[in-house]
Amino acid sequence: MIEGKSVLDVACGDGDDARLFRQRGAARVVGVDVSERMITAARRREREEQRSIGVE
């Protein structure tokens, strides 16, 4: 159960799992990835969907 918890999504890619964690009730989600291309994609999706996910 992740409801109300903080989640760090390592190797988040474009943020699919991070969005799922938020949808399932995580209080805070931060995604990190070494690929600048994936981070750019994740940030773009966050701007479009606005789920309050931090992307680093």
pTM for the model stands at: 0.78
Q: How many CB atoms lie within 10 A of CB 18?
A: 26
- Which has the higher per-residue pLDDT, 56 or 8? 8
What one-character DSSP code corresponds to residue 24? T
pLDDT tens-place string over residues 2-53: 999 999 999 999 888 998 999 999 999 999 999 999 989 888 888 888 777 7
What is the rounded distance in angstroms from the CA atom of residue 14 to the CA atom of residue 56?
Answer: 11
d(CA 24, CA 45): 18
Domain limits, the chain: 6-55
* pLDDT reading at 56 higher than 70: no
Angle between helices 16-23 and 36-49 (to 10 degrees): 40
Cross-strand pairs, 9: 31
